[in-house]
């Protein structure tokens, strides 16, 4: 009995501790997305450049590019906890922030669903949002299951292209978020080189993939329609004949597998495996 | 020689006062508002180990570990870049020369590009300064070798070799840029704009040693540079070993600028313009030009860095952007003002 009371006391004390207003900083778009899903947007005091889109209309101080953070700028917002990915820097700034007694959490950029899940669980535990985290994990696992279920034994070949605002196309290779998206969709990436490379229409026709995924930086533009319109030649490709030139919201494809990428993948999967 | 408009003492006093004001602002101003007196006390405590200031621990970190090394680094890099520019212009007897002309910036950029694009992120941040340093040094020495002939080191060949090397390095950097992913691209762009963000006392120490050594040897050659200004044969007749002078100064400049560039990335404009400013005010005597260029460079980079930190707080601008943005129009204005004297 005594033990139970003690346990209850400790539990309530720790809950009270965590219930205190935290001043959070996130310098990683994917982490920010998770925090917003935890309902912690009001505890965020500043975010980096790429996170701004995630926090919606709430205007937060902009900490700039997450590889060139200003330690003093961050400390000036008086944070209690800073969350970023292993890409944040420079090291001297991060060290200075740590030595000013601000807790710093460094997440691995997620390359797969499992890594995304472990990031969610880690943040849920640390921020005392276990329930929200569990709900999110369930959601991600369900999305992943749905994607797996739709996969075919014969994997379709796919390319992921980025429209370079009138300066041609760039094709996603190994290690890119585009490649991760293709894997989620159960396809084979036609590009085995690392990083992004520009690709000509002729080369694309030669590859003649089953599915062409295309993202654009311009918002409110259907990149797939634009691509077909500006390249009449593409109409002769298998992908176009089968209506498999698909628009991707590339705004969610910042760095690695995120909640946004999962959602986008589920949406795309339906289009990819639509009965022909 | 143009007539001096102000005395050496007047100008140095003004510059020293400006430097003091700059240091004071750099230490007391930043995105975080802290009481001025307490900030200065924190520095005092940091040096003497006393406990006079009443700042919270994290505020002390800001002043002592962030602002102080940054202030010192800005001064040292500014001084070294500017004085190296003055020496390069004297050596090439060309007012348009800057340390970039002997391949330093391009070589450094090439080294940095290899490191940023080809290495994984955690390695790149460590290797980039070293790669930039060796890139700069190797390119410069290679060019110097190329310009050597039985008749001595040809300044003309050195200049032409510089054009060729710059184009070639540009092509390689272009190729690296082409295969780079988005993050590397952004890192590369930022590196090329220079920043003092991430200054540490280790860099300050390294820069201080480099500055003292390089500046000492520069000053020893100030008279020889004056003689060289009349012409190479004339300098020889005055008993100066011009070949050795060239070699010494090229190597010193390469080392000095390479250390700067590896600490901060490329900060443009200072090496080219500061010596001009000083020459307009004090005349072309290298014995005065070199120390005053160093002072002016320190002041200018300090001011540029303060504005880079404050303008977009809590984020910050690359300081190389500020030096060029404010420096270039100011330079143009000065030239227009001085047109009559120049012709």
- Chain B's closest residue to A63, CA to CA, is B315
How many H helices and E strands in chain A?
A: 11, 10
CB atoms B32 and A100 under 8 Å: no
Is B19 inside a domain boundary? Answer: no
Domain with B283, as residue range(s), is: 74-342
Is B296 inside a domain boundary? Answer: yes
User: CA B10, CA B13: separation in Å to the nearest integer?
Assistant: 5
CB A104 within 8 A of CB A94: yes
Convert the pLDDT of each residue in A39-87 to its tens digit: 999 999 999 988 888 888 878 899 988 888 988 889 989 899 999 998 8
What per-residue confidence (pLDDT) applies to A12? Answer: 52
User: CA A23, CA B5: separation in Å to the nearest integer?
Assistant: 57
Compute, in degrees rounded to 10, the torsion defined by CA atoms B292, B294, B296, B301.
Answer: 180
Which of A62, A99, A176 faces B65 most closely, judged by CB atoms? Answer: A99
Convert the pLDDT of each residue in A254-265 to its tens digit: 778 999 999 999
User: CA A60, CA A74: separation in Å to the nearest integer?
Assistant: 12
- Chain A's closest residue to B61, CA to CA, is A100
- Chain B's closest residue to A94, CA to CA, is B198
Residues in chain B closer than 8 A to A74 (CB atoms)? 314
Q: Which of residues 153-212 of B touch A (CB under 8 A)?
A: 178-183, 186-187, 190, 195, 197-200
Is B9 inside a domain boundary? Answer: no
Q: Taking Cα atoms as reference points, which of B338, B112, B151 lies closest to residue B242?
A: B151
Per CATH, A2-146 and A155-272 having the same topology is answered yes
- Chain B's closest residue to A90, CA to CA, is B198
pLDDT at B340 over 70: no
Whether cis (ω within 30° of 0) applies to the bond prior to B37 is: no
Q: Residue A252 carries which DSSP code?
A: G
Domain ranges of chain A: 2-146, 155-272
Convert the pLDDT of each residue in B282-328 to its tens digit: 888 999 999 999 999 999 999 999 998 888 877 888 888 888 887 78
State the best of A52, A64, A68 to mutate against chain B, taking most chain B CBs within 10 Å: A68
Convert the pLDDT of each residue in A91-122 to its tens digit: 888 988 998 889 999 998 888 899 999 999 99
Q: Global pTM?
A: 0.80
pLDDT category of residue A9 using cuts at 50, 70 and 90: low
CB atoms B121 and A86 under 8 Å: yes
Facing residues of A162 across strands? A170, A215
Query: What CATH number was assigned to the domain covering residues A155-272?
Result: 3.40.50.1980
CB atoms A72 and B181 under 8 Å: no
Facing residues of A245 across strands? A212
What per-residue confidence (pLDDT) applies to B332? Answer: 82
Q: Quote the ipTM score.
A: 0.70
End-to-end CA distance of chain A: 65
Residue corresponding to tokens 């008279």: B223
CB atoms closer than 10 angstroms to residue B179: 15
CB B268 within 8 A of CB B82: no
User: CA A27, CA B220: separation in Å to the nearest integer?
Assistant: 50
Q: Residue B100 carries which DSSP code?
A: G
A-side interface with B, Cβ within 8 Å? 46, 49, 61-65, 67-77, 86-87, 89-93, 96, 99-102, 175-176, 195-198, 255
Exposure of B128 in the CB half-sphere (CA atoms within 13 A):
29
Residue corresponding to tokens 């694009």: B117
Q: Is B34 on the interface with A (CB under 8 A)?
A: no
CB atoms B197 and A70 under 8 Å: yes
For position B117, which CATH number holds?
1.10.3470.10
- Chain A's closest residue to B62, CA to CA, is A72
Q: Residue B61 carries which DSSP code?
A: I
Q: What is the DSSP string of A69-82?
A: --HHHHHHT--SEE
- Indicate the number of domains in chain B: 1
Residues in chain A closer than 8 A to B179 (CB atoms)? 195, 197
Is B32 inside a domain boundary? Answer: no
CB atoms A71 and B62 under 8 Å: yes
User: CA B198, CA B277: separation in Å to the nearest integer?
Assistant: 30
Residues in chain B closer than 8 A to A100 (CB atoms)? 57-58, 61-62
Which of A63, A196, A197 faces B315 most closely, judged by CB atoms? Answer: A63
Superfamily, domain A2-146: Nitrogenase molybdenum iron protein domain (3.40.50.1980)
Residues in chain A closer than 8 A to B183 (CB atoms)? 67, 87, 255
Is B210 inside a domain boundary? Answer: yes
Sign of the C-alpha dihedral computed for residues A245, A249, A254 and A256 taken in this order = negative
Is B237 inside a domain boundary? Answer: yes
- Provide the percentage of residues in chain A whose pLDDT is more than 90: 47
| 3-state secondary structure at position B29 | coil
State the best of A44, A46, A73 to mutate against chain B, taking most chain B CBs within 10 Å: A73
CB atoms B312 and A64 under 8 Å: yes
End-to-end CA distance of chain B: 13
Convert the pLDDT of each residue in B176-225 to its tens digit: 888 777 778 888 888 888 888 878 898 899 999 999 999 999 999 999 99
What per-residue confidence (pLDDT) applies to A231? Answer: 84
Classify each residue of B35-74 as buried b or exposed e, where b means 16 or more C-beta atoms within 10 Å of its C-beta.
eeebbbbbbebeeeeeeebebeebbbbbbbbbbbbbbbbb
- Provide the percentage of residues in chain B whose pLDDT is more than 90: 29
Is B95 inside a domain boundary? Answer: yes
Facing residues of A24 across strands? A44, A81
Q: Taking Cα atoms as reference points, which of A73, A104, A102, A62 lies closest to residue B195?
A: A73
Convert the pLDDT of each residue in B85-105 to its tens digit: 999 889 888 777 777 777 788
pLDDT category of residue B1 using cuts at 50, 70 and 90: very low
CB atoms B186 and A70 under 8 Å: no
């Amino acid at each position: 009995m005594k033990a139970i009371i003690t346990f209850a006391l400790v539990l309530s004390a720790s809950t009270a501790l965590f219930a205190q207003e935290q001043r959070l900083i996130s310098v990683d778009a994917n982490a920010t997305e998770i925090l917003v899903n935890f309902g912690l947007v009001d505890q965020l005091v500043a975010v980096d450049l790429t996170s701004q889109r995630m926090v919606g209309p709430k205007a937060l101080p902009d900490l700039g590019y997450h590889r060139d953070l200003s330690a003093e700028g961050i400390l000036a917002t008086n944070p209690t906890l800073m969350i970023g990915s292993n890409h944040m820097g420079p090291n001297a700034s991060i060290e200075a922030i740590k030595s000013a007694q601000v807790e710093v959490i460094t997440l691995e950029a997620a390359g797969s669903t499992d890594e995304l899940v472990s990031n969610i669980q880690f943040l849920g535990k640390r921020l005392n949002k276990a329930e929200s985290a569990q709900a999110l994990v369930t959601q991600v696992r369900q999305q992943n299951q749905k994607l797996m279920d739709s996969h075919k034994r014969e994997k379709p070949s796919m390319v992921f292209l980025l429209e370079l605002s009138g300066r041609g196309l760039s094709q996603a290779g190994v290690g890119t978020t585009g490649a991760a998206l293709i894997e989620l969709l159960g396809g084979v990436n036609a590009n085995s080189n690392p990083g992004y490379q520009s690709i000509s229409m002729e080369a694309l026709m030669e590859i003649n993939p089953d599915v062409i995924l295309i993202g654009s930086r311009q918002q409110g533009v259907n990149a797939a329609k634009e691509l077909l319109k500006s390249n009449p030649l593409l109409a002769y490709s298998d992908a176009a004949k089968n209506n498999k030139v698909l628009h991707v919201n590339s705004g969610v494809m910042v760095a690695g597998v995120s909640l946004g990428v999962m959602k986008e993948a589920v949406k795309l999967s339906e289009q990819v495996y639509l009965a022909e | 020689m143009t007539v001096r408009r102000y005395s050496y003492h007047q100008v140095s006093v003004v510059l020293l006062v400006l430097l003091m004001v700059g240091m004071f602002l750099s230490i007391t101003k930043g995105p975080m508002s802290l009481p001025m007196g307490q900030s200065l006390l924190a520095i005092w405590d940091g040096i003497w180990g006393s406990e006079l200031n009443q700042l919270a621990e994290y505020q002390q970190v800001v002043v002592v570990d962030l602002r102080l090394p940054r202030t010192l680094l800005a001064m040292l890099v500014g001084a070294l870049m500017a004085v190296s520019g003055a020496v390069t212009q004297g050596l090439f007897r060309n007012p348009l020369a800057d340390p970039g002309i002997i391949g330093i910036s391009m070589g450094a950029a090439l080294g940095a590009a290899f490191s940023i694009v080809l290495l994984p992120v955690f390695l790149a941040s460590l290797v980039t300064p070293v790669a930039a340093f060796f890139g700069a040094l190797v390119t410069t020495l290679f060019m110097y070798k190329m310009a050597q002939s039985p008749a001595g080191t040809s300044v003309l060949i050195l200049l032409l070799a510089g054009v060729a090397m710059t184009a070639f390095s540009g092509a390689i950097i272009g190729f690296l840029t082409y295969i780079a992913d988005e993050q590397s691209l952004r890192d590369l762009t930022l590196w090329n704009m220079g920043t003092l963000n991430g200054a540490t006392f280790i860099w300050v120490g390294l820069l201080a040693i480099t500055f003292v050594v390089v500046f000492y040897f520069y000053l020893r050659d100030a008279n020889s540079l004056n003689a060289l200004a009349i012409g190479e044969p004339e300098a020889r007749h005055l008993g100066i070993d011009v070949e050795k002078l060239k070699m010494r100064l090229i190597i010193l400049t390469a080392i000095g600028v390479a250390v700067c560039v590896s600490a901060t990335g490329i900060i443009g404009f200072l090496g080219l313009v500061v010596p001009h400013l000083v020459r307009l005010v004090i005349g072309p005597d290298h014995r005065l030009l070199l120390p005053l260029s160093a002072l002016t460079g320190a002041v200018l980079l300090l001011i540029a860095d303060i504005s880079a930190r404050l303008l977009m707080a809590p984020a910050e601008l690359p300081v190389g952007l500020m030096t060029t943005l404010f420096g270039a129009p100011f330079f143009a204005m000065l030239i227009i003002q001085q047109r009559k004297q120049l012709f």
